[in-house]
Structure 1
Amino acid sequence: MFSRILSYLVVFSGAWLFTSDVMADNLAQDTWYEIDSANFHIVTNGEPNSVRRLAEDLERYRAVALSLLGAKDDGAKLTIYAAADRESYAGLVGEDLSELTNGLFDTTAEGSYALVNLDGRTGERQLEAREFLFHEYTHFLSYNGTTTHYPYWYSEGFAEFMSTMTFGPGNTYDIGAIPGERAMTLLYTSPVPLQELLRATVHNTPDEEKGRIYASGWMLAHWIIMKSGKAEAFKQFVADYNNGADPVKALSKNLGMSIEEIEQVYNDQFREGRFQLARGKVPASFESKRPKVRTMSGEEAVVELARFLVKSGYNTHGVHELVEFAEREELYSPELSAVRADAATRAGDFDQAARLLAQVAPSDRNQFWYQKAQAWLWLNREITTMGAGRDKAALKGARDKFVQLVNSQSDEAMNWYGLAISMQMLGYPKAQYVEMLEQAYRRAPRELHIAQWLAQELYERKDAQYFAEVAQPLMLELTDEAEYNQMKNMLAEMKPQLADGSKAQSQIQGKASVKDKKSAGAGGSTKATP
Structure 2
Amino acid sequence: MMKTVFKLFAAVILLSNQALYADDEWHELISDHFILRTDTNLEKAKETIEKLEKYRFTIGAITNADLSADYSPPLVVYAFEKTKRFRRVFGITGGTAGFYIPFEDGAISMLTLEEGDETWSLDGLRVLFHEYSHHILHQYSPLQYPRWYDEGFGEYLAMTDFDGDKVIIGRPAVHRFPNLKSPGSWLKLETLLQSKGEYIGAIGGATSRKRLKTKNYIFQQYSQGWLTTHFFQSSDKYQKKLNAYLQGINRPGSDIDKEFKKAFGKSYAKMDKEIKRYWYNRELPSYVIDLKGQIPEIEYKVRKLNEHEVKIMEPEARYLAGGSAEEIADHIKVFEEALSNDVRPADLNLYLAELALRSKDWDKAEHYINILLAEKSDHAPALTLKTELMKRGKQLKELAKDQQKAVRKATITALKADQTYVPGLMAYARLFMEEGTKVTDNALDVMETVRFLVPDVDSAKILQVRMLAKAGKVADAKAHAQKLIDWASSSRQRKRYEDLLEEVEEKATLTASAN
Residue 78 of structure 1: aligned partner = 75
- The yes-or-no answer on 1:66 pairing with 2:40 is no
Residue type at the aligned position of 1:455: V
Over the aligned positions, Cα root-mean-square deviation in angstroms equals 3.8
Contact residue 241 and residue 250 of structure 1 kept, 8 A: yes
C-alpha distance in 1 between matches for 2:259 and 2:273 = 17
Any stretches of 5+ residues in structure 1 without a counterpart?
1-19, 494-530
Deviation of 1:210 after TM superposition, in Å, equals 2.8
Q: Separation in 2 of the partners of 1:396 and 1:113?
A: 35
What's the CA shift for 1:258?
0.5
Of 100-109 and 322-331, deviating more is 322-331
> In the alignment, does 2:157 pair up with 1:162?
yes
* Cα distance between partner residues in 2 of 1:173 and 1:439: 33
The alignment partner of 2:237 has SS state of coil
Asked whether the 8 Å contact 2:33–2:53 carries over to 1, the reply is yes
Distance 1:237 1:400 in 2: 48
Report if the CA contact (8 A) 1:37-1:55 is conserved.
yes
Compute the displacement of 1:448 (Å). Answer: 2.1
The two structures have a TM-score, normalised by structure 1, of 0.74
Give the AA of the match of 1:421. R
Gaps of 5+ in 2: 1-8, 204-214, 507-515
Does the alignment pair 1:193 with 2:203? no
Q: CA deviation at 1:363?
A: 4.4
Deviations 1:472-500 (A, max 9, x none): 5433247445443356679999xxxxxxx
Check whether the contact 2:77–2:108 (CA below 8 A) recurs between aligned residues.
yes
Shift of 1:409: 2.2
Give the Cα–Cα distance (whole angstroms) in 2 for the partners of residues 378 and 87 of structure 1.
43
1:410 aligns with 2:419: yes
Q: Is the 8 A contact 1:145 1:443 kept in 2?
A: no
- Counterpart in 2 of 1:12? none
2:422 maps to amino acid: A
Q: Could you tell me how far apart the structure 2 residues matched to 1:379 and 1:302 are?
A: 34
- Given that 1:134 and 1:162 are in contact with CA atoms closer than 8 Å, whether structure 2 keeps it comes out as yes
- Is the contact between residue 103 and residue 116 of structure 1 (CA under 8 Å) also seen in structure 2? yes
Q: 1:455 Cα shift?
A: 1.8
Q: Secondary structure at the match of 2:187?
A: coil
* Match 2:351 to one of 328, 331, 339: 339
Q: What is the Cα deviation at residue 418 of structure 1?
A: 0.6
Three-state SS of the structure 2 residue aligned to 1:360 is helix
1:150 aligns with 2:145: yes
Partner of 2:383: 371
Q: Deviations over 1:270-304 (max 9, x none)?
A: 22222122222116321333532112345656777
Aligned partners of 2:312 and 2:335 also within 8 Å: no
Aligned-residue offset at 1:259: 0.8
Residue 370 to residue 155, structure 1, CA distance change in 2 (3 Å): same
Distance 1:345 1:405 in 2: 17
Q: What amino acid is aligned across from residue 393 of structure 2 in structure 1?
A: R
Q: Cα 1:239–1:106, aligned 2, differ >3 Å: closer, same or farther?
A: farther
Give the match for residue 211 of structure 1.
219
Structure-2 change in CA distance of 1:59 and 1:176 (3 Å)? same
Contact 1:78 1:112 in 2 (8 A): yes
Question: Structure 1 pair 395/146, CA: closer, same or farther in 2 (3 Å)?
Answer: farther
Pick the aligned partner of 1:38 from 28, 32, 38. 32
Paired AA for residue 296 in structure 1: L
Residue of structure 1 equivalent to 2:208: none
- CA change 1:45–1:403 in 2 (3 A) is farther
Contact 2:81 2:113 in 1 (8 A): yes
CA distance in 1, matches of 2:424, 2:302: 30
User: Which deviations, in whole Å up to 9, do the C-alpha atoms of 1:184-206 show, x marking residues without a partner?
Assistant: 33237853332332244237444
Q: CA deviation at 1:157?
A: 1.1
Paired with 1:458 and 1:326, the residues of 2 have a C-alpha distance of 41
Pairs aligned (count): 464
Give distance in 2, aligned partners of 1:491 and 1:400.
29
Q: How far apart are the structure 2 equivalents of 1:217 and 1:204?
A: 15
2:372/2:382 contact within 8 Å kept: yes
AA in 1 matched with 2:223? A
Matched ranges for 1:41-190 at <5 A: 41-73=35-67, 74-75=69-70, 76=72, 77-90=74-87, 94-96=90-92, 99-121=94-116, 126-144=121-139, 148-168=143-163, 171-187=165-181, 190=185
Q: Residues 152 and 317 (structure 1 numbering): CA distance in 2 closer, same or farther, change over 3 Å?
A: farther
Local SS of the residue matching 1:381 = coil
**What CA deviation, in whole Å up to 9, does each residue of 1:155-199 have, x standing for no partner?**
111111112222336x33322221221123323785333233224
Q: How far apart are residue 311 of structure 1 and its match?
A: 4.9
Partner of 1:484: 497
User: Per the alignment, do residues 87 and 316 of structure 1 end up closer, same or farther by CA in structure 2, a change over 3 Å counting?
Assistant: farther
Distance in structure 2 (CA, Å) of the matches to 1:317 and 1:87: 23
Q: CA deviation at 1:209?
A: 3.7
Q: CA, structure 1 residues 278+337, in 2 after alignment: closer, same or farther (shift >3 Å)?
A: closer
Match of 1:443 among 453, 457, 476: 453
Q: In 1, Cα distance between the equivalents of 2:202 and 2:85?
A: 28
Cα distance in 2, alignment partners of residues 487 and 423 from structure 1:
18
SS of residue matched to 2:110: strand
Distance 1:380 1:87 in 2: 42
Once residues 39 and 390 of structure 1 are traced to their aligned partners in structure 2, the CA distance between those partners, rounded to angstroms, is 41
**What's the % identity of the aligned pairs?**
17
Q: Pick one of 231, 235, 243 that aligns with 1:235.
A: 243
Q: Secondary structure at the match of 1:287?
A: coil
How has the CA–CA distance of structure 1 residues 317 and 301 changed in structure 2, closer, same or farther, with 3 Å as cutoff?
farther
Task: Kindly provide the CA deviation profile for residues 200-254 of structure 1, in whole angstroms up to 9, marking residues without a partner as x.
Answer: 4237444444332221111100111102622222223223333464545433332
Amino acid at match of 1:281: D
1:364–1:448: structure 2 CA closer, same or farther, 3 Å change rule?
closer
Residues 108 and 320 in structure 2, CA contact (< 8 A), matched pair in contact too: no
TM-score by length of structure 2 reads 0.76
- CA positional deviation for 1:84: 2.5
| Structure 1 Cα separation of the partners of residues 314 and 402 of structure 2 | 34
1:453 has 2:453 as partner:
no
Contact 1:302 1:322 in 2 (8 A): no
Given the superposition, is the C-alpha separation of residues 458 and 252 from structure 1 closer, same or farther in structure 2, using an over 3 Å criterion?
Answer: same
Superposed counterparts of 1:202-281, under 5 Å: 202=199, 204-206=201-203, 207-227=215-235, 229-242=237-250, 243=252, 245-281=254-290
Q: Is the 8 A contact 2:484 2:494 kept in 1?
A: no
The alpha-carbon distance between structure 1 residues 423 and 452, as it changes in their structure 2 partners (threshold 3 A), is closer
Question: Structure 2: which amino acid aligns with 1:447?
Answer: V
Provide closer, same or farther for how the CA distance between residues 123 and 176 of structure 1 changes in structure 2, counting only shifts above 3 A: closer
Partner of 2:212: none
Contact 1:41 1:80 in 2 (8 A): yes
Query: Could you tell which deviates more after superposition, 320-329 or 131-140?
Result: 320-329
Report the 3-state secondary structure (helix = DSSP H, G, I; strand = E; otherwise coil) of the residue aligned with 2:368. coil
Q: Structure 1 CA distance, aligned partners of 2:424 and 2:200?
A: 30
Give the C-alpha shift of residue 260 in structure 1.
Answer: 0.8
Larger deviation, residues 335-344 vs 54-63: 335-344
